[in-house]
Structure 1
């Protein structure tokens, strides 16, 4: 059983919440858009962490479900029907967002029987096939996706309020699409994190951890392994779909090249760096991996070894991959619990609970093994 947050923890959370709410009044569009990318990445990383970190199912096809969410929203909310135009159903954007998330979950549900039969590297290779299929469809289904050029993303609107570039003056600060989407992203990320936390701390979370630690023993104890593994895959796909929608809204244009194998590897790096099986760890890892290329791109001129793309040196994107690749190795070797473990050590009253959690985890791993012995 987890301990209740201390007063210090609530104070930190409150200060962080106030800071996030105030940032649109002080940051320029570049940093607001970078923050939106981080929020979208955090939502997708939370979903992948429930699948890989909590249930133990390796997925290399997470980018496929992000693409389903992003393009599903564009097709459902976009206008179409004219000769030579892209297909669009013209649905209300809020409804298109909801349906895009459900379609991503349905895609995960169609793949879940395969996921229920495979484990480890075999499941990873099977999910990798989704990337190849998805890339082929995105580049060739021109009427739906726009092909190599992609397609524009319709702005989100809710109850008559449009999250577009129409200026709204708030406290003498002009709010455009980035500022408006910032608060929408915060709401979506908060709801996603709270829901995932409730799942992982409840009975489903304990069953998922049991499947991850010892699948056969979990089945002997009465856990419906196939159903929970399928459910975790569907839930992870829905999180990826929601992340894809938010990512498309932040980009304002979908491009097929973005939803490739590299993106799936980045999401795996997020959950490993942040901490497997932890919602807070997924958010920390997503912030690091998504913001690092933005920081290097912004301040590349002042940093050694970093140069503009096409000049023959190391580009900001390449340098970012080198850095978080090295971070993954360092975390695996020296900090298996991820950045969330390091953060817990810095919070008063958390160090004891961290040791207790690690001890309980070790006991859970040993207990099922003893039960299956004759």
Structure 2
């Protein structure tokens, strides 16, 4: 009987190999066949996936609600520009810069985002739930003030041009011209492969953290803080450390976003971006690396598709015309998706896929997805058995 039960699972594991190989082939071939719009949309999704993995480690796996993730994306994006840009001379409002090699600038930008998270980590280590969410909300207002007023660093309202990344002699820009198999490779085609490596590396590292020794400790802090303390888990230290790690993920996502946009603009790193990231992890599935990627793709691609096909879709009007714009329609749709997930799919899209997999393999259904606890009081203990 046990052999019969193992056969569907074994067949499923064997089927994963050709699926992964086919996925790798398709991902590699995409730049050779798709136009710039789809490549840019895919790169936006990759950047969002990296940032979503980071906030899912904090919120989904450790139970810490953060509403300031956009701040760390801004730190990563602007730090990269400042470290890599050559300072201007003779201008009335000169823009500063260190002119460092761009790979070094990217690494330092991620570390700077981690440093910003480290400065906030004493607060993150002592607050939880809605209290931490309100505290991180202040980071958004602080960040917006700095981005608009520190003009020598950020360029103010108009932002700054982003220096293209140059790695091993390859410039991730439209020039110099690069042609592969009769296909001109511009900045988007070159960044596509770099984005794939960033997503795969970020996902692999996060899975390693969750499957290693920190993972159970993070989950215990999320589910029952008192039990974690009794078991000897340094709760405040873990919370602070995960907050720094999440900040570094946000910094890397900011660097990727800046390279795709080719210009940093303060308005992009506001409250709505932080809410987008919370929507990503709820829709995809709290505590799941794959769920974070799925939710990031859904939330980041939907506005682009609605903008692309706004003429053919009902009830959607051009921005500024008085009707529902594509961006507003996208927020309405994935707002409805969040409500649907909370009510009917507590494990998100990743949980739904997990149940389908369990049905195919004949295993028991996966465990219930974690919840975001907004209150600071411990969960009530179950009532004793009253049966005689």
The bucket for the TM-score relative to the shorter chain is: over 0.9
RMSD, matched Cα: 2.3
Out of 65, 72, 79, the residue aligned to residue 58 of structure 1 is 65
After the TM superposition, which residues 93-132 of structure 1 pair with which residues of structure 2 at under 5 Å, given as runs? 93-132=102-141
The whole-number CA distance in structure 2 between the counterparts of 1:222 and 1:282 is: 30
2:322 corresponds in structure 1 to 312
Shift of the 209–301 alpha-carbon distance from structure 1 to 2, 3 Å rule, reads same
SS in 2 for 1:307: coil
The whole-number CA distance in structure 2 between the counterparts of 1:217 and 1:162 is: 52
- The Cα offsets for residues 84-112 of structure 1, whole Å up to 9 and x where unpaired, read as 23111000000000000000001001101
- The Cα offsets for residues 227-279 of structure 1, whole Å up to 9 and x where unpaired, read as 11111000000000000000000000000000000000000000000000000
Bigger radius of gyration among the two: 2
1:341 shift after superposition = 1.4
Shift of the 213–183 alpha-carbon distance from structure 1 to 2, 3 Å rule, reads same
1:271 corresponds in structure 2 to 281
Does residue 28 of the first structure (1) align with residue 16 of the second (2)? no
2:173 corresponds in structure 1 to 164
Does residue 179 of the first structure (1) align with residue 189 of the second (2)? yes
The whole-number CA distance in structure 2 between the counterparts of 1:37 and 1:235 is: 21
1:119 shift after superposition = 1.2
After the TM superposition, which residues 73-152 of structure 1 pair with which residues of structure 2 at under 5 Å, given as runs? 73-84=80-91, 85-152=94-161
Q: Which runs of 5+ in 2 are unaligned?
A: 1-8, 372-378
Does residue 251 of the first structure (1) align with residue 261 of the second (2)? yes
SS in 1 for 2:179: strand
2:52 corresponds in structure 1 to 45
Does residue 6 of the first structure (1) align with residue 13 of the second (2)? yes
Shift of the 57–187 alpha-carbon distance from structure 1 to 2, 3 Å rule, reads same
1:345 shift after superposition = 3.4
Does residue 261 of the first structure (1) align with residue 268 of the second (2)? no
Larger mean Cα displacement after TM superposition, 279-288 or 117-126: 117-126
SS in 1 for 2:184: strand
1:232 corresponds in structure 2 to 242
Off by >3 Å, runs of 4+ in structure 1 = 2-5, 345-354, 356-361, 365-370
SS in 1 for 2:163: coil
- The Cα offsets for residues 184-209 of structure 1, whole Å up to 9 and x where unpaired, read as 00001100000001101111011000
Q: Give the conservation status (yes or no) of the 8 Å contact 1:65–1:241.
A: yes
2:345 corresponds in structure 1 to 335
Shift of the 172–366 alpha-carbon distance from structure 1 to 2, 3 Å rule, reads farther
Number of residues paired by the alignment? 366
1:135 shift after superposition = 0.1
1:343 shift after superposition = 2.0
Does residue 67 of the first structure (1) align with residue 70 of the second (2)? no
The whole-number CA distance in structure 1 between the counterparts of 2:11 and 2:383 is: 31
Q: Give the conservation status (yes or no) of the 8 Å contact 1:50–1:236.
A: yes
Q: Give the conservation status (yes or no) of the 8 Å contact 2:355–2:366.
A: no
Q: Give the conservation status (yes or no) of the 8 Å contact 2:347–2:369.
A: no
1:359 shift after superposition = 10
Q: Which runs of 5+ in 1 are unaligned?
A: none
